[in-house]
Copies of this chain bind each other. A is one copy, B any other.
């Protein structure tokens, strides 16, 4: 813990994240990070022993910062449909973002280094967290009779798979904003009670 300068450690992680965002995980060498940080080779090794170690750290801090985002939705004072849209818009941002995006690096990292425990797997944690939040939103929406949904958790899981699917599609062959919007709309339209439904 009390090892070397914590400040420098953070600095390296910040710079390294930029490198991973640009080059993915596999193409990044220690030299790349050394150059991005403008420190010496030996200096970097004083803090981290490999790109893997560095990336693991970045992933950790990502997880922490994202948790805040996620929990904030339920505190909003508005309809559950609004809150759901807020959640989905956040996901849309993640799906479409270009800058500071370590999604590809994360996949590459996971392909190469499967964590022993699922609980150490960022993607899994994010996925489960998403299901939990969505479930709560849906349950509350159902309670308030805004949404129609027989099994909130099953629906939440389904939605998370859709989002995960869009995320990987966006990274492998590209998905336009229009397509994301259309898909999110399709999800929501399947949930909201159609008030004037006479058929």
Q: Which residues of A contact B (CB under 8 A)?
A: 24, 26-27, 104, 107-108, 110-112, 118, 121, 123-124, 127, 151, 154-155, 157-158, 160-169, 171-174, 182-183, 186-187, 190
Contacts and interface: CB of A to CB of B under 8 A. Distances in A.
A118 B165 contact: no
Given A26-B111, A107-B107, 16 more contacts: A24-B112, A26-B112, A27-B112, A110-B173, A111-B171, A118-B174, A123-B169, A123-B173, A124-B169, A124-B172, A155-B186, A158-B183, A158-B187, A164-B164, A164-B165, A165-B168
A93 to B, nearest CB: 17
Contacts of A24: 111-112
29 contacts: A24-B112, A26-B112, A27-B112, A104-B111, A107-B107, A107-B111, A107-B168, A107-B172, A108-B108, A108-B111, A110-B173, A111-B171, A111-B172, A123-B172, A127-B169, A151-B186, A158-B183, A158-B187, A161-B161, A161-B165, A161-B183, A162-B162, A162-B165, A164-B164, A164-B168, A164-B169, A165-B165, A165-B166, A165-B167
A158 B179 CA distance: 11
Contact of A26 (B108, B121, B172): B108
B183 A157 contact: yes
Nearest to A151: B186
Contact of A161 (B154, B166, B171): B166
B186 A158 contact: yes
Contacts of A168: 107, 164-165, 167-168
